[in-house]
Amino acid sequence: MGSNLNEFANRTVVVTGASAGVGRAITHRFARAGARLGLIARDAEALCSVQEEVERLGGSAVIAPADVADADALFAAADHIRDAFGPIDVWINDAMVTVFSPVWEITPDEFRRVTEVTYLGFVHGTLAALRDMRPRDRGTIIQIGSALAYRGIPLQSAYCGAKHAIRGFTDSLRSELLHARSRIKLSIVELPAVNTPQFDWARTHMGQQPRPVPPVVQPEVIAEWVFRDACNPHRETWIGWSTLKVILANMLLPEFLDHYLARKVVTAQQTRVPVSPMRRDNLDEPVHHLHRTRGSFDREASAEAIAIPGPVARIAPVAAGVLALIAVAFLARGGERRR
């Protein structure tokens, strides 16, 4: 998908969570467009590997190891990237962690850690981007969201809560930028299930290994749509039919979805493979040997997905509702005339 022309030559793009999964795929896509990439994640060794990949693909990169939960460390990372490459043109917030567990088995410290990385990490990254962009009144900030920002699912309450918070924070900021007549662009991209290493290294309190809820797409698909959004920012983009269906179903039939998810999605997030007692997770520290772009579900992951701007997607249920009301009114008038 997409071209390999140097659309981003001499433009600086920062990616948090750049060491694996969607973040790593995004760095590859921008590297093929000739971008200068600032790579942020906790694991310096993994970032060095990504830096080598970026340079082989035609981009350039500087690494800035930092935990996005630490605001001062993230601001320092942004300063390091700006000193190396100049002003930041695009900032992409992607870093995340999660815990698979019923709510009553997650500890307060685990909730706090997921929130600090997956929500406050986006806040810190956005603040760092704004520090650079506001004096110039230009730049683009892209938040990597999820369909779960609209609809929480069982076993991922901490993550879903953080993604909901990202959407609320982003909407508030967007209104403030509009009030200030700012030219800074702000986008949020809502993802479906993606074949990334998170299912191999996320903390879990379940008996079986975690897995994404089908249908699953490859991280390169997300990277392509994020790249397109950077070229032509939308307020919001929904990627994949599953994202579209989940968000619209929750708008129209939330109680039905409560029961459907209760019946189907607890088991749908677990494989038949028991969790090993030797399993390590990345909640507090990186798992060095698992950094890669794709996860363990290549066989079922699709290499393509639709993407629809959120405002366009919302027209469908509104139009359906209007047509239904018109049909009811027409039938009622017909009945009155017959009487």
Q: Which amino acid is at 214?
A: P
Indicate which residues carry an active-site annotation. 159
Identify the pLDDT of residue 328.
Answer: 58
For residues 247 and 164, is the Cβ–Cβ distance under 8 A?
no
Identify the pLDDT of residue 284.
Answer: 97
pLDDT digits 0-9 by tens, 165-216 = 999 999 999 999 999 999 999 999 999 999 999 999 999 999 999 999 999 9
Average pLDDT value for residue range 139-167: 98
For residues 254 and 230, is the Cβ–Cβ distance under 8 A?
no
Taking CA atoms, 208 is separated from 102, 279, 283, in Å, by: 14, 11, 18
Taking CA atoms, 260 is separated from 160, 215, 253, 263, 320, in Å, by: 17, 16, 11, 5, 23
Q: Which amino acid is at 177?
A: L
For residues 129 and 90, is the Cβ–Cβ distance under 8 A?
no
Cα gap 68→74, rounded to integer Å: 6
pTM above 0.85, yes or no: yes
Cα gap 129→107, rounded to integer Å: 32
pLDDT digits 0-9 by tens, 299-309 = 999 999 999 88
Cα gap 155→46, rounded to integer Å: 29
Structure confidence at residue 283 as a pLDDT band (50, 70, 90): very high
* For the chain, percent of residues with pLDDT exceeding 90: 87
Confidence check: pLDDT of 332 > 80:
no
Mean pLDDT (the chain) is 93
Which of the pair, 256 or 338, is modelled with greater confidence?
256
Identify the pLDDT of residue 330.
Answer: 62
Residue 218: Cβ-neighbour burial (10 angstroms; 0-12, 13-18, 19+): buried
- Give 12-338's CATH code, choosing from 3.30.70.3280, 3.40.50.620, 3.90.850.10, 3.40.50.720: 3.40.50.720
Average pLDDT value for residue range 283-306: 96
